[in-house]
Amino acid sequence: MRLLRPLAVALGGLALTVITMGPAAAADGTFVWVGPKGKAYAIQNPPDRKCLEMAQEARGPQNATKRALVVYSKPKCKGATHRVAPGHSASGSVHFASVVFNPR
Protein backbone atom coordinates (compact mmCIF):
# COMPACT_ATOMS: atom_id res chain seq x y z
CA MET A 1 0.00 0.00 0.00
CA ARG A 2 1.13 3.52 -0.60
CA LEU A 3 1.85 6.01 2.12
CA LEU A 4 0.74 9.57 1.80
CA ARG A 5 3.74 11.43 0.37
CA PRO A 6 3.95 14.06 3.15
CA LEU A 7 3.66 11.34 5.77
CA ALA A 8 6.37 9.33 4.04
CA VAL A 9 8.68 12.35 4.15
CA ALA A 10 7.98 12.85 7.85
CA LEU A 11 8.57 9.19 8.59
CA GLY A 12 11.75 9.19 6.51
CA GLY A 13 13.28 11.60 8.99
CA LEU A 14 12.37 9.25 11.81
CA ALA A 15 13.73 6.16 10.06
CA LEU A 16 17.30 6.85 11.11
CA THR A 17 16.19 7.11 14.74
CA VAL A 18 14.31 3.82 14.54
CA ILE A 19 17.26 2.08 12.90
CA THR A 20 19.81 3.31 15.41
CA MET A 21 17.68 2.60 18.47
CA GLY A 22 16.86 -0.99 17.51
CA PRO A 23 13.60 -2.93 17.62
CA ALA A 24 12.66 -1.80 21.13
CA ALA A 25 11.93 1.65 19.68
CA ALA A 26 9.18 0.47 17.34
CA ALA A 27 5.63 -0.72 17.76
CA ASP A 28 6.21 -3.96 15.83
CA GLY A 29 3.41 -4.61 13.37
CA THR A 30 1.19 -2.61 11.07
CA PHE A 31 -1.01 0.44 11.60
CA VAL A 32 -3.78 0.79 9.02
CA TRP A 33 -6.27 3.62 8.47
CA VAL A 34 -8.71 4.83 5.85
CA GLY A 35 -7.78 7.95 3.91
CA PRO A 36 -9.37 10.02 1.16
CA LYS A 37 -11.87 8.27 -1.11
CA GLY A 38 -11.93 5.26 1.22
CA LYS A 39 -8.42 4.13 0.30
CA ALA A 40 -6.49 2.13 2.92
CA TYR A 41 -3.03 3.27 4.04
CA ALA A 42 -0.52 1.56 6.32
CA ILE A 43 2.71 2.03 8.24
CA GLN A 44 4.96 -0.91 9.15
CA ASN A 45 6.69 -0.85 12.56
CA PRO A 46 5.88 2.77 13.49
CA PRO A 47 8.21 4.50 15.99
CA ASP A 48 7.31 4.56 19.68
CA ARG A 49 6.37 7.78 21.45
CA LYS A 50 6.66 9.98 18.35
CA CYS A 51 3.72 12.13 17.34
CA LEU A 52 2.95 11.44 13.68
CA GLU A 53 0.70 13.90 11.86
CA MET A 54 -1.60 12.80 9.08
CA ALA A 55 -1.28 14.84 5.88
CA GLN A 56 -4.86 14.19 4.76
CA GLU A 57 -8.16 12.86 6.03
CA ALA A 58 -7.66 9.85 8.30
CA ARG A 59 -10.27 7.67 9.98
CA GLY A 60 -10.94 4.14 11.17
CA PRO A 61 -7.59 3.33 12.82
CA GLN A 62 -6.69 -0.38 12.97
CA ASN A 63 -3.92 -1.32 15.37
CA ALA A 64 -2.15 -4.51 14.29
CA THR A 65 0.96 -3.59 16.30
CA LYS A 66 2.08 -4.97 19.66
CA ARG A 67 1.66 -1.60 21.39
CA ALA A 68 -1.32 0.56 22.29
CA LEU A 69 -1.81 3.75 20.32
CA VAL A 70 -3.71 6.98 20.78
CA VAL A 71 -5.22 8.96 17.93
CA TYR A 72 -5.86 12.68 18.35
CA SER A 73 -8.51 14.83 16.71
CA LYS A 74 -6.00 17.64 16.05
CA PRO A 75 -2.43 17.89 14.71
CA LYS A 76 0.58 17.75 17.06
CA CYS A 77 -1.15 15.11 19.23
CA LYS A 78 -3.66 17.55 20.68
CA GLY A 79 -7.43 17.53 21.00
CA ALA A 80 -9.82 14.71 21.76
CA THR A 81 -8.23 11.28 22.08
CA HIS A 82 -9.21 7.71 21.29
CA ARG A 83 -7.06 4.84 22.60
CA VAL A 84 -6.78 1.66 20.50
CA ALA A 85 -5.36 -1.47 22.12
CA PRO A 86 -3.05 -3.85 20.25
CA GLY A 87 -5.01 -6.02 17.83
CA HIS A 88 -8.08 -3.77 17.94
CA SER A 89 -9.60 -1.12 15.72
CA ALA A 90 -11.86 1.88 16.05
CA SER A 91 -14.97 2.69 14.10
CA GLY A 92 -14.74 4.39 10.73
CA SER A 93 -16.43 7.36 12.38
CA VAL A 94 -13.27 8.00 14.44
CA HIS A 95 -11.46 10.75 12.50
CA PHE A 96 -7.96 11.77 13.56
CA ALA A 97 -5.19 14.19 12.63
CA SER A 98 -2.27 12.66 14.53
CA VAL A 99 -1.24 9.44 16.29
CA VAL A 100 1.29 8.26 18.86
CA PHE A 101 2.31 4.63 19.49
CA ASN A 102 3.14 3.28 22.94
CA PRO A 103 2.12 6.53 24.64
CA ARG A 104 3.33 7.30 28.15
Alpha helices in 1-104 (DSSP H): 5-21
pLDDT in tens, the chain (104 residues): 444 554 444 444 433 333 434 445 677 999 999 999 999 999 999 999 999 999 999 999 999 999 999 999 999 999 999 999 999 999 999 999 999 999 88
Instruction: Identify the pLDDT of residue 5.
Output: 52
The answer to whether the pTM exceeds 0.85 is no
Instruction: CATH number of the domain at 10, please.
Output: 2.60.20
Burial per residue of 14-49, b for 16 or more beta-carbon CB atoms within 10 angstroms, e otherwise: eeeebeeeeeebbbebebbbbbeeeeebebebbbbe
Q: Give dist(CA 81, CA 98) in Å, integer.
A: 10
pLDDT at res. 92: 94
Domains: count for the chain: 1
pLDDT of res. 62: 98
Range of the domain at 84: 5-101
